[in-house]
Amino acid sequence: MKSLKLENIHKNISACKSINKETQNMIFTFSKQIKEDEYLININIKKGYFQPEKDVDINLNTDLLFVLHIAHNFPTNPPILFCLTSLSHLGLEICDGKDILEDVIRKQWKNDMTLKEIILKIPKFIIKNINNKRNKLFFGKFILECEYDYNMLSKVPYYYFNFVKEIINKRTRKVENRILMITESFCLIFEYKAGYFNIYEVKLIFWASIMSIFGMKKNENSFEFEFSKSFNQRIFLPVITKDGEKIMNIILNILQNKGINYLFNNKNQLMESKKLPEFDIKEEKNNNNNENKIDDIDNNKTNDNGIDNNDRKDIDKNI
């Protein structure tokens, strides 16, 4: 016998199917069950849904893809809404794995809101905010300790997405498995554990704006980020990877596109910003204080071994 919570989830998901008919398949939804009480709703908004002459200057060259993640505590806690389509060319940066639910519904979550209501509000959110000249960097929020579906995460537009090992302690030479992701505007670190058939349990443990990078340094098989959390506070993030030079070039190109230039010191391969705008990392608090925080990481460096061969095989299979 189903619990009342499960019945409510199934009722909400079933109601979403009517959206296809009501919008003449311009908004198409498809649900996927992950666990007994956990679902993903894939949302495809056709590019033809928006009319440039009517809906401001929206000239889309592709359909828009979103995902609603519904967990077992729904509707007590809200679902999480992700965007999987880059809209940065239209001035809207929302496809970095951020939860944009509150921005879309424009109010705090109430447990009487339906999934169908959320989905129908997405196009209005897009229309309202495209070409709006204000800073859109922090539309949405990152939630630390949030679990991601690995396959969904790999579909988020990224510049770099690979397995690395984070250096936790120089003295004990301890490292931990991580996934490093660099998107249009952010650096993200995920903790992961391999499950059956290489299905990963992925959890967000660190995020920071690309614009808050103060320096970068690479050795033979390690790479270190230096983030500016505030005017006089730095966060060091050393990882083991053979892609250090590649990562440097990616980040340099992103920053140059944002109008920030770096100086290069050939002696110790240290990248330092010539002019980095003041950019305090935005922090927002929720009840469990897990949202939008960056924890300090020990300033440790080591010359440990590179990525395991098994990790390399997984990379080839999944990325």
Instruction: Give the model confidence (pLDDT) of 256-306 as tens digits.
Output: 888 877 766 554 444 554 444 444 333 333 444 444 433 333 333 333 333
pLDDT, averaged across the chain: 78
Q: Which helix (H) or strand (E) segment is 4 a member of? A: helix 4-22
Q: Give the C-alpha separation, 178 to 194, whole Å.
A: 11
In one letter, which amino acid is 115?
L
Identical fold, 4-129 and 147-318: no
Q: What is the domain partition of the chain in residue ranges?
A: 4-129, 147-318
Give the number of other Cβ atoms within 10 Å of residue 126's Cβ: 24
CATH superfamily of 4-129: Ubiquitin Conjugating Enzyme (3.10.110.10)
Residue 261 one-letter amino acid: N
Look up residue 122 and give its two tokens.
């997405």
For residue 268, the Cα-to-chain-centroid distance in whole angstroms is: 31
Query: In this model, does residue 223 exceed pLDDT 60?
Result: yes
Residues 6 or more apart in contact with residue 60 via CB below 8 angstroms? 47, 50, 90
Crossing angle of helices 4-22 and 115-129, rounded to 10°:
50
Distances 111 to 15, 36, 142 between C-alpha atoms, Å? 16, 20, 21
Tell me how long the chain is. Answer: 319
Tokens of 40: 């993903």
Determine the pLDDT at residue 44. 95
Instruction: Give yes or no for residue 136 having a pLDDT over 50.
Output: yes
Lowest mean pLDDT among 183-192, 223-232, 249-258, 272-281: 272-281
Most confident of 2-16, 76-90, 256-270: 76-90
Mean predicted confidence (pLDDT) in 305-313: 39
Here the tokens at position 285 are 């608090």
Tokens 């614009």 label which residue?
211
Distance set, CA 296 to CA 91, 144, 228 (Å): 31, 14, 11
Residue 46 CA to chain centroid, in angstroms? 23
CATH topology of domain 147-318: PH-domain like (2.30.29)
The answer to whether 274 touches 261, Cβ cutoff 8 Å, is yes
Strand partners, 148: 202
Percent of the chain with pLDDT over 90: 31
Cβ–Cβ < 8 Å for 163, 65: no
180 within 8 A of 162, measured Cβ to Cβ = yes
**Whether 258 contacts 109, CB under 8 Å:** no
Q: Give the residue among 78, 242, 226, 109 at the shortest CA–CA distance from 163.
A: 242
315, pLDDT greater than 70: no
Assign 3-state DSSP to the chain and report helix, strand, coil percentages, each to 5. 25, 35, 40
pLDDT digits (tens, 9 = 90+) for 147-162: 888 888 888 889 999 9
Q: Collapsing DSSP states into helix, strand and coil, what is residue 79?
A: coil
